[in-house]
A and B are shown apart, each in its own frame.
Chain A
Amino acid sequence: MRALTWHGSHDVRVDTVPDPEIMNPRDAIIEVTSTAICGSDLHLYDGVIPGMMSGDILGHEFMGRVVETGPKSTLQKGQRVVVPFTISCGSCFFCKKHLYSACDNSNPVENQDITEGLYGHAVSALFGYSHLTGGYPGGQAEYVRVPFSDIGPIVVPDGMDDDQVLFLSDILPTGWMAAVNADIEEGDTVAVWGCGPVGLFAVQSALLMGAARVIAIDHYPNRLALARKLGADVIDYKQTHVLEALMEMSGGLGPDAVIDAVGMESHGFAPDTVLDNIKQTVGFGADSGHALREALMAVRKGGRVSIPGVYGGFLDKFPTGALMEKGLQVKTGQTHVQHYISELLKRIEDGEIDTTFLISHRLPLEEAPKGYYNFKNNQDDWTKVVLKTGKS
C-alpha cells in the first residue's frame, strides 16, 4: 500500500509499504477514504517529539471502510467508520471512567518504559504519533490496522460526506473537550490562544456552551477571519498587547476561562519564547510555552485554564505564583474521543455543528508532503489539509 512515512525533520515521503494484517482478535483493517494532517503532526514534522523512527507512518485523523475484521471485532465489512485517534481498550480502570486517552492497555509494554520514566506513568497509545505513544502505524495510508475496533470506531451513515464527519476523529472532539474543560458558564468571557483547527472548534464549542464572548488570539489574518466568522472577537498579537487588551475587553476582570490551543511550539516575540526556542533547537526536551504563560497571566482570579495544546517535555519560567495566588483550576489531556464522538456526530447530523468550513485544501495522498510543507509554512491560507486516497 501507499503511505506517508516520516524520515526526519521536514522529511516526509509517500512510500510503498506492506499492507497491515489482523494481529489481535479485536482488530479490524480499515481502507482509508479520507485522512487529514493535524496541527500536532507538525510537531512530528518539525522533529520536536522524541521517539520517532525512520519509516514510521504518520496520521491519526482518518476514516474509511471496514475491509477485514478479527474474530472479536464488532464491526462488519463494508461499514463506513470514523476512527478516534486515541487507542483505548474500553475495559481498564480509566476507560471505565471514560478517561479513554488514559487507557492502560493500548500502549505495547515495550513502548511504555520511556513515558513511565518521563511522566511517572506510561501514556496510552495514539495512531501514528511516535513510539512514546505506541508506535502504531498511522492513518495517512491506504489501509490501517485498528486495534480494539469494538470500542473506537463509530459507524457513520452513507448519506454523510467524509468531509462532514472526518474531524470526529480528533480535532472536533478536541476543540469540544477544550471548551468542556473550561467549565463554561452562561455569560462567560473565554479567551482562546491559537486559531488553528482545535482553537477554531474550541471557539465554536464555547459559544454553543453559552459563552457570552469568545476572544480568539492569533496572528494569521485568514485564521482570525475564520474565528470572527464563527462569532468570536479577535486579537492579532502582532498588532496588540494581548494582556492589556484582554483586561480592557473583559471590563478589567480578565477572562473567566482561557484555552491554550497552541501547545509546545508557541511563537510570539517575547524573550521567553527566544529562550524556549533555543532549548528546543538544541534538544533540551523543552517546550515553548509563551501562550500558556500568557494565558495564566490573563485569566481572572479563580478562573479556569484548559490546555488542549500538546506539550511533551518541560517548561520553565512557569508562573506557578499566578496559578496558586489566583486560585486557578487547570484541566488538560489528550482527548477522550470515545466519550464525545457519538454526541458530536448527532450534533453534526442535526446541523448544529459544521466542520467543513475549515478545509482549505484537498489533496491526493500522493501529494501529502506538499500538504505538510504548506500547512507548516503557509499557515494563513492552508488552514486544514484533507488527503484523499481515491477510494470510496
Chain B
Amino acid sequence: MRRDEWRRREHWRRHGHDRGGNTEWIALGAAALIGAAGAAYYLQQQPQRHQAHRPPDSAPGRTARQRTFGRYAVVSRTVTIDRPRTQLYGFWRDFQNLPQFMENVKAVTPLDGEVTRWTIEGPMGRDVQVETRIVEDRPNELIAWRSVEGSDIDTEGRVRFRDAPGGRGTEVEAVVAYDAPGGEIGRWIATIFQKEPAIQGRRELKRLKMLMETGEIATSRNHHSARRGGQ
C-alpha cells in the first residue's frame, strides 16, 4: 500500500468516515445537515497526527484527545435503539419524518434528483435553507448526504445503522461535519454551530430513541400552550 493511501485510510478511520462513505447526516444539529463543495476539501485533509508514535487504538477518531478537521467542525453521537435496523433505516430514509424529532427542522421539501431542501429555524426567528443531495444510500445500513454547491452551510454527514450486540436493537451513529462560510448568515450560523450542534445532535437522537421505543417524546410540560421543552 502506498504511504499516502495508508494515511488517507487512517484519516478516515480516525475521523469516522470510511473512504466511500462520506456524506452527510442531518440530524445532528438539524441545521447541520448540509454539505457542499467544501466538504470535499475536508475529505482530503490530512489529519494532524500529534501522537503518531502511538499505535492506533480502536476508538473512533472523533474521540481522539488531539483532533483537527481542517476548517470543519465535526459532531457525532451514537445511541442504541431497541428496534430493528430495517425499521429505523426506513423511518429515517423518509426524510419527511425527521422533523418529528429534529426540533429545529421546520420543513423538509423533496426537490428534483435526490436533492432535499431543509428549512431550519435559526436564531432570532430567521430561517435558513439548506439543500442536500444523498451521496450514498445502503438500505438498512447507511444514509450519507452532502450539501449542494452554493448552500448557505457547507456540510456533510451520515447516519449508520448497525445491529447492537446481544439483541439490544440497533446502534445508530450519526456524524456531521460542517463549515459555515463567511458573511452575516455564516457568522450567526457559526455561532449556533460552535455551541449547539453537539447538544442538538444528542438531543435529536434521544428523541428518535424515545419515539421509536415508546411511541412518544417525553415532555414535562403540562399544557399545550406552554413553550416546548422540559419546563
- Please list the residues of chain A having a beta carbon within 8 angstroms of any beta carbon in chain B: 18, 20-21, 23-26, 53, 72, 89-93, 96, 104-113, 116, 125, 131, 134-137, 145, 147-148
Classify chain B: how many residues form its interface, as a range: 20 to 34
Does B216 reach chain A (CB closer than 8 Å)? yes
- Tell me, rounded to whole Å, the shortest Cβ–Cβ distance linking A145 to chain B: 5
11 sampled A-B residue pairs with Cβ under 8 A: A21-B224, A89-B210, A93-B169, A96-B82, A104-B206, A105-B214, A107-B230, A108-B230, A109-B206, A135-B220, A136-B220
B220 touches A134 (CB 8 A): yes
Interface of A is mostly: loop
| Contact call A20/B222, Cβ cutoff below 8 A | yes
A104–B209 touching, CB < 8 Å: yes
Q: Is B66 an interface residue, CB under 8 A from the partner? A: no
Taking A104-B209, A105-B209 as given, write out 17 further A-B residue pairs in contact, using a Cβ cutoff of 8 Å, ordered by the A residue number.
A21-B222, A23-B221, A23-B223, A24-B218, A25-B215, A25-B216, A26-B214, A91-B82, A92-B214, A104-B213, A105-B214, A107-B218, A110-B229, A113-B203, A134-B218, A134-B230, A145-B222
Number of A-B residue pairs at CB separation under 8 A: 92
Q: Does B207 contact A (CB under 8 A)?
A: yes
Among residues 151 to 183 in chain B, which have CB atoms less than 8 Å away from a CB atom of chain A? 168-169
Whether A108 and B215, one on each chain, are in contact in the complex, defined by CB atoms closer than 8 angstroms, is no
In the complex, the answer to whether B230 meets A20 with C-beta atoms within 8 Å is no
Most buried by B among A72, A107, A108, A109: A109
Instruction: Enumerate chain B residues within 8 angstroms of A148, measured Cβ to Cβ.
Output: 214
Given contacts A25-B215, A105-B209, whether A93 and B168 have CB atoms under 8 Å apart is yes
A271 to B216, CA, bound (A): 50
- CB neighbours (8 Å) of A20 from chain B are 222-223
B229 touches A108 (CB 8 A): yes
- Asked whether B218 lies within 8 Å of A147 as measured between CB atoms, the reply is yes
**Which of B209, B219, B221, B222 is packed against the most chain A CB atoms within 10 Å?**
B222
The docked-state distance in angstroms from the alpha carbon of A25 to that of B217 is 10
Q: A125 touching B213 by the CB < 8 A rule?
A: no
Binary flags per residue of B193-206, CB closer than 8 Å to A gives 1, else 0: 00000010011001
Write out the residue numbers on chain A whose beta carbons fall within 8 Å of the beta carbon of B217. Answer: 24, 108-109
Q: Are A93 and B223 also in contact (CB < 8 A) when A26-B216, A147-B218 are?
A: no
B213 cross-chain contacts in A, Cβ below 8 A: 89, 91-92, 104-105
Cα of A11 to Cα of B122 in the assembled complex, Å: 39
User: A113 and B199: CB pair below 8 A?
Assistant: yes
Does the CB pair B222–A24 fall under 8 Å? Answer: no
Interface pair B218/A125, CB less than 8 Å apart: yes
Task: List the 3 closest A-B pairs by CB distance, nearest first.
Answer: A108-B230, A20-B222, A111-B230
Residues of A within 8 A of B206 (CB): 104, 109, 112
Q: List, in ascending order, chain B residues with CB within 8 A of A134's CB.
A: 218, 220, 230
C-alpha gap A72/B209 in the complex (Å): 18
If A104-B209, A105-B210 touch, whether A24 touches B230 (CB-CB below 8 Å) is no
Contact of B82 among A21, A92, A111, A147 (CB under 8 A): A92
CA of A191 to CA of B218 in the docked complex: distance in angstroms? 40
How many Å lie between the Cα of A93 and that of B81 in the bound state? 9
Contact A110 B222 (CB under 8 A): no
Q: Kindly list chain B residues whose C-beta atoms are within 8 Å of the C-beta of A107.
A: 218, 230
Q: Is B58 an interface residue (CB 8 A)?
A: no
Q: Residues of A contacting B51 with CB < 8 Å? A: none
Q: Bound state CA distance, A145 and B222, in angstroms? A: 7
Which residues in A have their C-beta under 8 angstroms from that of B224?
21, 23
